């Protein structure tokens, strides 16, 4: 099939490359001419395992092309995906200006029947608005479909190639069948293609992310209680996770969620509920708990060194990205924590395997970057583990102890065992466990 993907960011580039991998002819369109020229040269703008190889191979085989022209992409395609950004506005709602601008250009470019697919995460009513905008700019027949993405950063290729389900929101049987045909090779394992109305599909995406965010905030609340009453959250988590009604995923305690999806989608869902006068009290608390959790390590650090005693301390930091497997710094818990420590006069020396460049925008010279994990430890008063990269899981603790001035670890991701830390001679603070 001939497919156009408008927006060559995280979602759009992954979708375009994966569709091309299954034999479709795909053109990825973006208004950023430098990004398009870089893609043509094989320079990938984001870090995602496996994406570079996929893009390069399909571009070489002439199944994946790049352009700055929406007209070119629309005229030569049967299905057009809108995958532009929907950032958070000041009032918490999703900023749909890019979606609507693209819809207008699509309308002016249509040269026959087309299926327009909202791939961006958009609130209830967006498909109807997109249809209205396109209708004002064309007399050709078309349909608008909602097809939310369910990708995890760091595992996006696998998620797209082997989806647990494909949600297609279509108010037209013709359009729904065409999009289902496009996805059919991805679900040969029997996982379902779920068809529904556009409004239901729009809400499904937000409901999924809000529920997962709720599990994370709930886990962190219980973990904080464990510290107070003397319980071990790891034991509690195992007891909860083996209940099939609850499940093991998203029950890990830590310093809160971040990234491009959960924070933005939770806020947008709250705003949608306000617009329709339907309160979402639980979701509001989920967001509040998460913001508090991001700076929970600060309280532990301040309690350890003493109020007003953080100034002049050298803190080694392992991990900056919001999760391992990505260089994404959007809403990363490391940002408010490290900025607060910087304000208190701490010297911060950090290492992250891939997010140095993306993190510079947020820290603007307020932290020093180490060349590797052990370089960050030289003369440090404490180590802060903020992202659970694999290379941090089994480090050389003898070497760590020799490099550091102080022997204390603040583990924001519960990677180490308190009994092991005690044996190694470290003071150890984590989330939901008793301190050593």
Residue 67: both structure tokens together: 């352009």
The interaxial angle of helices 233-241 and 198-229, nearest 10 deg, is 140
Q: What are phi and psi of 18, to 5 degrees?
A: -70, -40
DSSP 370: P
How many CB atoms lie under 10 A from the CB of residue 261? 25
On the CB side of 266, how many CA atoms lie within 13 Å of its CA? 26
How many CB atoms lie under 10 A from the CB of residue 236? 18
Q: What span, in angstroms and rounded, lies between the C-alpha atoms of 217 and 251?
A: 9
How many CB atoms lie under 10 A from the CB of residue 152? 13
**Which residue in 4, 28, 226, 261 is the catalytic one?**
261
Q: What span, in angstroms and rounded, lies between the C-alpha atoms of 209 and 332?
A: 17
pLDDT digits (tens, 9 = 90+) for 284-329: 999 999 999 999 999 999 999 999 999 999 999 999 999 999 999 9
3-state class (DSSP) for residue 197: coil
Residue 201: both structure tokens together: 């599909």
Question: Tell me, what's the pLDDT at 127?
Answer: 97
Which stretches within 64-197 are classed as H helix?
A: 70-75, 97-109, 126-135, 156-161, 173-183
Q: Which long-range contacts (CB under 8 A, 24 or more apart) does 368-375 make?
A: 370/316, 373/318, 374/399, 374/400, 374/403, 375/349, 375/351
Question: Tell me, what's the pLDDT at 88?
Answer: 87
| Residues 64/69/74/75 CA torsion (nearest 10 deg) | -100
Q: Are 431 and 409 in contact (CB under 8 A)?
A: no
Strands 382-385 and 314-318: parallel
Q: What span, in angstroms and rounded, lies between the C-alpha atoms of 343 and 205?
A: 38
Q: What span, in angstroms and rounded, lies between the C-alpha atoms of 329 and 385?
A: 16
Q: Are 169 and 146 in contact (CB under 8 A)?
A: yes
Q: Are 117 and 9 in contact (CB under 8 A)?
A: no
Question: Tell me, what's the pLDDT at 90?
Answer: 87
**Whole-number percent of the chain with pLDDT over 70:** 100
How would you write the pLDDT of the chain (436 residues) with one tens digit per residue?
Answer: 999 999 999 999 999 999 999 999 999 999 999 999 999 999 999 899 999 999 999 999 999 999 999 999 999 999 999 999 999 888 888 999 999 999 999 999 999 999 999 999 999 999 999 999 999 999 999 999 999 999 998 999 999 999 999 999 999 999 999 999 999 999 999 999 999 999 999 999 999 999 999 999 999 999 999 999 999 999 999 999 999 999 999 999 999 999 989 999 999 999 999 999 998 999 999 999 999 999 999 999 999 999 999 999 999 999 999 999 999 999 999 999 999 999 999 999 999 999 999 999 999 999 999 999 999 999 999 999 999 999 999 999 999 999 999 999 999 999 999 999 999 999 999 999 989 8
Q: Are 23 and 99 in contact (CB under 8 A)?
A: no
Based on the residue annotation, tell me whether 261 is a catalytic residue of this protein: yes
On the CB side of 425, how many CA atoms lie within 13 Å of its CA? 10
Q: Is the dihedral of CA 27, 28, 30, 34 positive or negative?
A: negative
Q: What span, in angstroms and rounded, lies between the C-alpha atoms of 212 and 217?
A: 9
Closest C-alpha among 232, 12, 7 to residue 102: 7
């Amino acid at each position: 099939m001939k497919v156009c993907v408008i927006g060559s960011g995280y979602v759009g580039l992954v979708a375009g490359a994966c569709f091309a991998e299954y034999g479709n002819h795909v053109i990825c369109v973006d208004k950023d001419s430098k990004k398009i020229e870089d893609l043509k040269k094989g320079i990938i703008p984001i870090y995602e395992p496996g994406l570079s190889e996929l893009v390069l191979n399909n571009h070489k085989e002439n199944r994946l092309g790049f352009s700055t022209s929406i007209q070119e992409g629309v005229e030569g395609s049967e299905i057009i995906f809108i995958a532009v950004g929907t950032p958070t506005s000041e009032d918490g709602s999703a900023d749909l200006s890019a979606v609507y601008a693209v819809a207008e250009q699509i309308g002016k470019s249509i040269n026959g029947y087309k299926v327009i697919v909202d791939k961006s995460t958009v609130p209830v009513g967006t498909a109807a608005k997109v249809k209205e905008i396109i209708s004002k700019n064309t007399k050709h027949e078309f349909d608008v479909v909602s097809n939310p993405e369910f990708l995890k950063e760091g595992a996006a290729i696998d998620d797209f190639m082997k989806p647990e389900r494909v949600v297609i929101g279509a108010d037209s049987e013709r359009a729904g069948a065409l999009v289902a045909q496009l996805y059919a090779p991805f679900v040969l394992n029997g996982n379902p293609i779920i068809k529904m109305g556009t409004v239901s599909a729009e809400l499904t995406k937000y409901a999924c992310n809000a529920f997962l965010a709720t599990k994370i905030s709930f886990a962190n609340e219980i973990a904080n209680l464990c510290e107070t009453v003397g319980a071990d959250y790891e034991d509690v988590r195992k007891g909860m996770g083996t209940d099939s009604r609850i499940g093991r995923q998203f029950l890990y305690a830590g310093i809160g969620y971040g990234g491009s999806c959960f924070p933005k989608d939770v806020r947008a869902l709250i705003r949608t509920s306000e617009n329709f006068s339907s309160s979402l009290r639980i979701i509001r608390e989920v967001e509040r708990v998460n913001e508090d959790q991001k700076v929970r390590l600060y309280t532990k650090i301040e309690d350890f060194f003493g109020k007003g005693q953080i100034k002049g301390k050298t803190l080694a930091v392992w991990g900056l990205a919001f999760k391992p497997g990505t260089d994404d710094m959007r809403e990363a818990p490391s940002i408010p924590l490290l900025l607060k420590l910087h304000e208190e006069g701490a010297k911060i020396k950090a290492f992250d395997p891939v997010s140095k460049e993306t993190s510079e925008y947020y820290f603007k010279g307020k932290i020093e970057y180490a060349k590797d994990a052990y370089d960050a430890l030289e003369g440090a008063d404490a180590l802060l583990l903020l992202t659970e990269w694999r290379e941090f899981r089994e480090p050389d603790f003898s070497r760590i102890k020799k490099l550091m001035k102080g022997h204390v670890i603040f583990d924001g991701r519960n990677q180490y065992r308190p009994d092991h830390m005690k044996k190694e001679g470290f003071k150890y603070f984590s989330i939901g466990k008793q301190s050593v």
